[in-house]
Amino acid sequence: MTTDERKISVGELAAAIGVSISTVGRALADDPRISAETKAKVRRAAERAGYVGSMAARVMRGGKSNLMGLLIPDVRNDFYAEIAQALSETCDREGHRLVLSITGDDREVEARHIRELVGARASGIIIVPTANPRRESTSMLRGIAHVQLLRRLDSLGDAWFGINDEPALFEATTHLLERGHRRIAYIGGSESLSTGSARARGFQRAYEQARISLDQATILIGPTTAEYGAAATKQLLARTRAPTAIATGSVHITLGVIEQIEKLHIPVPQDLSVIGFGDPTWFEWWQGGLTTIRPPVQELATTCGLWFLNRIKAGGRNSVVRHSSVANSILIQRATVRRLQNSPGPRGDNRR
């Protein structure tokens, strides 16, 4: 190895700058006891010298790493992929590195990933929790800064960032009711999840507020997978009195609905109106444009990331902070909902 290729040690770096080794370590760890001027001086010198600090050594000294954990159920979902991208960019700007953990909504996997992040002394964890985390997971999260994203469980603390799930489905369902639809099917995720229960409530509340009997509606609840969305759609369209409209409560379920509609060659919106959930780019092209609920992904992820990183920098403990933030989804009206002929007003028939 040549002299130019040899990695400089922290002692050599400290001597070159004229500060102590401990000052170098603290500056690179963004210790608040070190002035901004000294931190900048140390970092510039480290970059010029090609110095690479040891995260393991910092952790052994009792420090925190610059790792930020993100636990999500699925990254194949455009919704979660966008969240991961936005949070990664936010963390990178603030000197942290996002570590992505995919739980598959499995509480055992969730516990294992939390354990590993705690063991690596991650700065914090942003978590989309499973429906029923293990007691061990709850206990471990009490010892590390964390914030819940989208889903919310009281057992995991009071810091949460989410979207307006109930009002979003209420607006979408009302949109269909006002266009004369009564036999509307809702296909959504498990009501054991806070998001699933809120979206189902929004669907039901639209019928209640319009004073239309919910007996005409169909609510199908299951796993948030494309397979379930396709199977539920096939079941619905095989009925003698099939629904005139379908509203969905998840991105993957929407994909399954679309897949089955294409397979069965159902004319949309002539024979079936559809409101999806999520808004990947190609939704704008399907059937002239899918009417859909667009969650505020960028806003949600960036706001959550900045708030959480600021709390960590301030040395706050997540367990003693109560913070809730709700971002508003938007109903994007395109081409997949039609008004039924001779349709009554939103309160026009079958009053209770």
3 state SS for 230-272: HHHHHHHHCCCCCCCEEEECCHHHHHHHHHHHHHHCCCCCCCC
SS3 content of the chain, % helix, strand, coil (to 5): 45, 15, 40
Q: In Å, how far are 276, 294, 327 from 248, measured between CA atoms? A: 5, 12, 19
| 45-59, 66-80, 269-283: which is most confident | 269-283
Q: Which of 306, 284, 278, 330 is nearest to 86 (CA)?
A: 306
> What's the confidence (pLDDT) of residue 111?
96
> What's the confidence (pLDDT) of residue 346?
46
Listed in order, the ranges of the chain carrying CATH 3.40.50.2300 are: 67-163+297-328, 165-295
Least confident piece of the model among 175-189, 288-302, 308-322 = 308-322
Tell me what the mean pLDDT of segment 267-291 comes to. Answer: 97
> What's the confidence (pLDDT) of residue 179?
98
Higher-scoring residue by pLDDT: 45, 290:
290
Rounded to whole angstroms, the Cα distance separating 155 from 138 reads 7
Q: In Å, how far are 101, 144, 151, 313, 332 from 162, measured between CA atoms? A: 19, 21, 7, 23, 19
Choose the CATH number for 165-295 among 3.20.20.70, 3.40.47.10, 3.30.420.10, 3.40.50.2300.
3.40.50.2300
Rounded to whole angstroms, the Cα distance separating 299 from 234 reads 35
Q: Is the pLDDT of residue 166 over 80?
A: yes
Higher-scoring residue by pLDDT: 189, 26:
189
Question: How big is the CA angle at 291 (ends 285 and 295), to the nearest 5 degrees?
Answer: 100
> What's the confidence (pLDDT) of residue 2?
37
Least confident piece of the model among 8-22, 175-189, 261-275, 325-339 = 8-22
Residue type at position 86: A
**For the chain, how many residues are written?**
352
Q: Alpha helix locations (H) across the chain? A: 10-17, 21-28, 36-49, 55-60, 78-93, 107-119, 135-142, 165-177, 194-210, 226-237, 251-264, 297-313
> What's the confidence (pLDDT) of residue 16?
83
> What's the confidence (pLDDT) of residue 64?
62
Tell me what the mean pLDDT of segment 139-144 comes to. Answer: 93
Q: Which residues pair with 37 in a beta bridge?
A: none
Choose the CATH number for 67-163+297-328 among 1.10.10.10, 3.40.190.10, 3.40.228.10, 3.40.50.2300.
3.40.50.2300
Q: Exposed, middle or buried by CB within 10 Å (0-12, 13-18, 19+), for 224?
A: buried
| 48-57, 145-154, 311-320: which is most confident | 145-154
> What's the confidence (pLDDT) of residue 36?
84
Q: In Å, how far are 81, 174, 181, 213, 349 from 352, measured between CA atoms? A: 43, 17, 17, 6, 9
Q: List pLDDT tens digits, range 61-112.
A: 445 678 999 999 998 888 899 999 999 999 998 889 999 999 999 999 999 9
